[in-house]
């Protein structure tokens, strides 16, 4: 044994920013998260050059998975061009040399804040979702030790009660985003604040989804072909947002999740939330040859 | 302008090994390729001084010690390298974590022969309907004992290694002997 075998050559920076021990820890926790779908696994959550709560959890997972051949797409509420998405995408590519893309079809790794792209993800793609609050029980049980015990006991009675009270008070389930969902029939998870529109996309999906909360230091996963069932009562069916009939005012795309843009006269116009899908629709209308993947929703209906 | 960073040989190997491990565990029954034969790249990708390791095969010991991991008996170990299994009893004391912390359940790595021998049918998360695999080199009663021991979400996760091939069977998978 000599000094040269015990040390590594000097590098200006660890590849992919995270040091090797941080990556190993996240790898171990990711394996456990996949082995127990929907169960929150604690991890250390290292410092990255970004404030906690801005996607540091997703970023650490992406930095662990990335290599120079991984094509990366980053979206923020469906948009590739928001400041958060553009900054994360540039950071990922700078520290790893990985190519970036805006097109869902070209991506190997998709890091997303609060949306799942409209085109179906393939078996070889990995979706990394940024999670602000990984604990679905927090509204009904703020003490996280007790919440952990409730998960251990599969004690989700209060969760159902919360949904019931919403229906009694308001006539419908008021949960708009991060709709609590039962994974593999055992653990209730938050699918991160994706709209209700996106939750069915996780059910028996072809792709692997990893959800990581950097500030809360927990990671959970939905493996491919895993049951993800939103909590609903038998007589009150699960409803997605009524966006099936809306048309994007810019691209003319119809039947997808839309951003509502309030107008001066009190009315609203709508713009497609998956920005690259909108761009592709415009390109096609202009006569450019454009490849579309099969979408989860067709004519506003989940297929 | 920064030049594009280039991963070191070790980093590339660890990244590839983890890609294989994650791929095989999230799609049980599908065989993935490790960057090298045997457990070496798994040790490199996963182990460091935060781990407690049991190692049945003394030839792996130098690398395990070099990683800084603590050597432990099977019940205390979070990574259990059983080598080629002689009898199924080794599984009895493998750590299964707790209902509160299922992540404390161990990762068990076993040397087997893949693609030959008795058939088993896998189903569960990661598998669309079911997946049949042939696997030999396991002691008698292995699958039955696994089923008796695992009380989901407690349990242990298995990786079967054959040369540079790896196959994962997480605790969530239902195994049926055919």
Interface test with A, best of B66, B103, B169 (most A CBs within 10 A): B103
Alpha helices in A142-266 (DSSP H): 144-152, 157-170
First to last CA, chain A: 61
- pLDDT tens for each residue of A283-298: 999 999 999 999 999 9
> Inter-chain contact B2–A94, Cβ cutoff 8 Å?
yes
| A176 band by pLDDT with thresholds 50, 70 and 90 | confident
B146 to chain A: which residues are within 8 Å by CB? Answer: none
Tens of pLDDT along A75-126?
999 999 999 999 999 999 999 999 999 999 999 999 999 999 999 999 999 9
A97 φ/ψ sector (left φ>0, alpha ψ -120 to 50, else beta)? left
Provide φ and ψ at B63, rounded to 5°. -70, -40
Distance CA B146, CA B155 (A): 9
d(C-alpha A1, C-alpha A265), whole Å: 78
Determine which helix (DSSP H) or strand (DSSP E) holds A6, and give its type and residue range.
helix A3-6
ipTM exceeding cut-off 0.90 for this assembly = yes
Instruction: Express each pLDDT in B101-110 by its tens digit.
Output: 999 999 999 9
Nearest residue, CB atoms, B22 vs list A34, A68, A227: A34
**Which single residue is written with the structure tokens 């893309």?**
A101
Cβ-based contacts of B26 with chain A (< 8 Å): 34, 208, 221, 223-224
Q: Compute the radius of gyration of chain B from its Cα atoms.
A: 16
Average pLDDT of A9-37? Answer: 94
Mean pLDDT of B17-33: 97
Give me the mean pLDDT over the A173-197 stretch.
95
The DSSP bridge pattern shows strands A208-213 and B157-162 to be: unpaired
The dihedral built from the CA positions of residue A152, A157, A158 and A164, taken in this order, carries a sign that is positive
Inter-residue contact A21 to A214 (CB < 8 Å) = no
pLDDT exceeds cutoff 60 at A154: yes
B172 and A CB contact within 8 Å: yes
The answer to whether residues B54 and B74 touch, using CB atoms and an 8 Å cutoff, is yes
Q: What is the mean pLDDT of residues B143-172?
A: 97
- How do the domains of chain B map onto residue ranges? 9-172
Is the Cβ of B9 closer than 8 Å to some Cβ of chain A? Answer: no
pLDDT of A4 reads 82
Residues 179-198 of A with CB under 8 A from B: 184, 186-187
Task: Report the pLDDT averaged over residues A232-261.
Answer: 94
- Look up residue A144 and give its two tokens: 């996280």
The pLDDT of residue A157 is above 60: yes
Check B126 against A96: CB less than 8 A apart: no
- Give the pLDDT confidence score for residue B2 in this predicted structure: 60
Position with higher pLDDT, A49 vs A2: A49
Say if CB A100 and CB A108 are below 8 A apart.
Answer: no
Overall fold of domain B9-172: Rossmann fold (3.40.50)
- Our CA dihedral for A101, B3, A54, A297, rounded to 10 degrees, sits at 10
> Does an H or E element contain A183, and which?
strand A181-183
Question: Is B102 within 8 Å of chain A by CB?
Answer: yes
Is the alpha carbon torsion for B107, B113, B119, B124 positive or negative? positive
Measured between beta carbons, the chain A residues lying within 8 angstroms of B167 are none
pLDDT, averaged across chain B: 95
Distance CA A20, CA B17 (A): 14
Please state which CATH number belongs to domain A20-135+178-230: 3.40.50.11310
> Which residue spans of chain A are classified as CATH 3.40.50.11310?
20-135+178-230
The answer to whether A99 contacts chain B (CB < 8 Å) is no
Phi and psi at residue B83, to the nearest 5°: 60, -145
- Helix (H), strand (E) at residue A24: helix A20-35
Q: What is the pLDDT of residues B110-144, one digit of tens each?
A: 999 999 999 999 999 999 999 999 999 999 999 99
The pLDDT tens digits of the residues spanning A112-127 come to 999 999 999 999 999 9
Q: What pLDDT is recorded for position B1?
A: 47
Q: Which residues of B touch A34 (CB under 8 A)?
A: 22, 25-26, 126, 170
Cβ neighbours around A148 below 10 Å, total: 18
User: Measuring CA to CA, how many Å separate A113 from each of A53, A147, A209?
Assistant: 11, 25, 13
B113: exposed, middle or buried (Cβ count in 10 Å: 0-12, 13-18, 19+): middle
* Residues of A whose CB is below 8 A from B51: 28
Residues of chain A found within 8 Å of residue B130, distances taken between Cβ atoms: none
Q: For A203-239, how does the pLDDT look when each residue is reduced to its tens digit (9 = 90+)? A: 999 999 999 999 999 999 999 999 999 999 999 999 9
Helix/strand number for chain B, H first, E second: 4, 10
Question: Nearest 5°: phi and psi at A103?
Answer: -85, 125
CA distance A251 to B126: 36
């Amino acid at each position: 044994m000599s000094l040269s075998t015990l040390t590594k050559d000097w590098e200006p920076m660890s590849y992919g920013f995270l040091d090797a021990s941080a990556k190993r820890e996240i790898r171990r926790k990711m394996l456990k998260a996949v082995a127990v779908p929907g169960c929150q696994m604690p991890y250390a959550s290292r410092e990255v050059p970004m404030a906690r709560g801005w996607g540091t959890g997703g970023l650490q997972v992406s930095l662990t998975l990335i290599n120079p051949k991984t094509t990366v797409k980053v979206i923020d509420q469906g948009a590739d061009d928001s400041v958060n998405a553009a900054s994360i995408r540039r950071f990922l590519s700078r520290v790893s040399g990985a190519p970036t893309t805006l097109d869902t079809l070209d991506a190997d790794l998709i890091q997303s804040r609060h949306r799942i792209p409209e085109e179906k993800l393939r078996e070889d793609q990995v979706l990394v979702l940024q999670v602000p609050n990984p604990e679905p029980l927090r509204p009904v049980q703020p003490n996280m030790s007790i919440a952990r015990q409730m998960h251990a006991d599969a004690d989700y009675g209060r969760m159902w009660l919360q949904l019931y009270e919403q229906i009694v008070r308001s006539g419908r389930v008021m949960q708009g985003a991060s709709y609590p969902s039962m994974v593999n029939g055992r653990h209730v998870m938050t699918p991160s604040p994706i709209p209700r529109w996106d939750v069915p996309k996780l059910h028996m999906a072809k792709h692997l989804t990893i959800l990581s909360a950097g500030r809360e230091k927990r990671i959970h996963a939905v493996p491919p072909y895993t049951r993800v069932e939103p909590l609903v009562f038998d007589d009150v069916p699960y409803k997605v947002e009524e966006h099936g009939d809306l048309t994007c005012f810019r691209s003319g795309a119809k039947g997808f999740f839309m951003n509502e843009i309030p107008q001066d006269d009190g009315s609203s116009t709508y713009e497609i939330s998956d920005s690259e899908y909108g761009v592709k629709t415009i390109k096609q209308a202009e006569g450019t040859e454009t490849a579309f993947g099969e979408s989860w929703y067709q004519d506003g209906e989940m297929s | 302008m920064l030049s594009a960073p280039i991963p070191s040989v070790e980093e590339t190997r660890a990244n590839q090994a983890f890609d294989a491990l994650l791929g095989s565990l999230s799609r049980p029954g599908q065989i993935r390729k490790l960057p090298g034969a045997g457990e070496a790249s798994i040790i490199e990708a996963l182990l460091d001084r935060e781990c407690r390791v049991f190692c049945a095969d003394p030839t792996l010991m130098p690398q395990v010690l070099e990683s800084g991991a603590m050597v432990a008996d099977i019940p205390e170990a979070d990574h259990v390298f059983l080598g080629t299994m002689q009898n199924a009893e080794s599984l009895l004391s493998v750590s299964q974590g707790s209902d509160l912390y299922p992540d404390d359940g161990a990762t068990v790595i076993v040397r087997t022969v893949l693609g030959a021998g008795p058939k088993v049918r896998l189903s569960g998360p990661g598998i669309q309907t079911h997946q049949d695999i042939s696997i030999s080199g396991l002691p008698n009663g292995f699958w039955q004992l696994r089923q008796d021991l695992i009380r989901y979400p407690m349990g242990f996760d298995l990786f079967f290694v054959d040369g540079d091939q790896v196959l994962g069977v997480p605790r969530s998978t239902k195994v049926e002997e055919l």
